[in-house]
Amino acid sequence: NAGVTQTPKFRVLKTGQSMTLLCAQDMNHEYMYWYRQDPGMGLRLIHYSVGEGTTAKGEVPDGYNVSRLKKQNFLLGLESAAPSQTSVYFCASSYGTGENSPLHFGNGTRLTVT
Amino acid sequence: GQSLEQPSEVTAVEGAIVQINCTYQTSGFYGLSWYQQHDGGAPTFLSYNALDGLEETGRFSSFLSRSDSYGYLLLQELQMKDSASYFCAVRGTFMDTGRRALTFGSGTRLQVQP
């Protein structure tokens, strides 16, 4: 049982380049999330999805787009990368939003924008 | 919106007890969660408190006081492997959809010394 899988694990981009981060979960979870983690700032929610075909903005959505075409996949896109987007990106999923629905995280994607 | 405050760093010795505090401000409180993250790893769920009082899970306990908007994570019989970052989190409400997603504190780095 793989849980939440993120690809790639590492990536270096030049300013202005675009890329897509992939997230897949095999737990049949309805909810999926993209967080970014920066030193001293904890995890901040970028976008999230409450089901297939739906997406919504989190705390820091600017510069990112997402898609949830299939229930098991949640894609995060950077249209024109900026150095401020250098971060560790975590995808997570949950069955619901209640107390019995903890988040399951992937191992992260370390992105550097030069 | 939501905000959480926790100490940035705590140091303790092996075998000791340590308490990591968390105060929060949120509209619509649904419970306080705790996650552990080892360096280079993914956050993993530790505990959840929806009601006042202490929840015990092995060496770890979590406490909540809703009237004080305060909780803590208690780690007993500290081991070297407990060296990690610990995040408290609450489910806030995002006004654009009315859905609730997890908002994390900035994390407390626990260093266990021999």
- Distance, in Å, from the CA atom of A33 to the CA atom of A11, rounded to the nearest integer, reads 20
Least confident segment among A93-102, B13-22, B62-71: A93-102
Confidence of residue B100 (pLDDT cuts 50, 70, 90): confident
User: Which pLDDT score is estimated for A1?
Assistant: 63
* The token pair that represents B83 in the structure block: 């060296």
| Residue range A103-107: mean pLDDT, rounded | 96
In angstroms, the CA B63 to CA B20 distance is 10
Which chain A residue's Cα is nearest to B31?
A99
User: Considering chain A, what is the average pLDDT of its residues?
Assistant: 93
What pLDDT is stored for residue A100 in this prediction?
A: 66
Q: Which of B8, B94, B104 has its CB closest to that of A56?
A: B94
| Residue-by-residue DSSP string for B76-111 | -S--GGG-EEEEEEEEEE-TTT--EEEEE---EEEE
Task: Check B87 against A105: CB less than 8 A apart.
Answer: no
pLDDT of residue A80: 97
Distance CA(A21)–CA(A7), nearest Å, equals 6
- Residues in chain A with CB shorter than 8 Å from the CB of B9 are none
Does any CB of chain B come closer than 8 Å to the CB of residue A110? no
Q: Which residues of A touch B8 (CB under 8 A)?
A: 40
Strands annotated E in chain A: 4-7, 10-13, 19-25, 31-38, 42-49, 56-57, 64-67, 75-78, 87-94, 104-105, 109-113
The answer, yes or no, to whether residue A69 has pLDDT greater than 90, is yes
Residue range B28-84, pLDDT digits in tens:
778 899 999 999 999 999 999 989 999 998 999 999 999 999 999 999 999 999 999
Helix (H) or strand (E) holding B112: strand B108-113
CA atoms of B108 and A50, how far apart (whole Å): 29
The predicted-structure confidence for A30-50, as pLDDT tens digits, reads as follows 999 999 999 877 899 999 998
Q: Min CA distance, B78 vs chain A (Å)? A: 23
* A88 and chain B in contact, CB less than 8 A: no
Of B42, B87, B102, the CB nearest to A106: B42
β-pairing, A56-57 vs A42-49, is antiparallel
Chain A residues with CB inside 8 Å of B30's CB? 97-99
Residue A58 or A21, more confident: A21
Q: State phi, psi for A83 to the nearest 5 degrees.
A: -55, -30
Q: Look at residue B99 and tell me whether its pLDDT is greater than 80.
A: no
Average pLDDT taken over every residue of chain B: 91
Are the C-beta atoms of residues A71 and A59 closer than 8 Å to each other? no
pLDDT of B28: 76
Residue-level pLDDT at A88: 97
In Å, how far are A98, B19, B38, B112 from B15, measured between CA atoms? 34, 13, 19, 9
For chain B, how many helices (H) and strands (E)?
A: 0, 11
> Band of the pLDDT at A77, cuts 50, 70, 90?
very high
Cis peptide bond N-terminal to A8, omega within 30: yes
**Which of A5, A10, A50, A105 should be substituted to probe chain B, the one whose Cβ sees the most B Cβ atoms within 10 Å?**
A105
Among candidates A45, A99, A106 on the partner chain, residue whose Cβ is nearest the Cβ of B103: A45
Query: Which of A10-19, B20-29, B45-54, B80-89 is predicted with the least confidence, judged by mean pLDDT?
Result: B20-29
- CA B36, CA A46: separation in Å to the nearest integer? 20
Lowest mean pLDDT among A18-32, B10-24, B94-108: B94-108
Identify whether the C-beta of residue A68 lies closer than 8 Å to the C-beta of residue A49. yes
Token output for B110: 């626990």
- Tell me what percent of the residues of chain B surpass a pLDDT of 90: 77
> Taking CB atoms and an 8 Å cut-off, how many pairs form between chains A and B?
59
Q: In whole angstroms, what is the distance from residue B51 CA to residue B46 CA?
A: 16
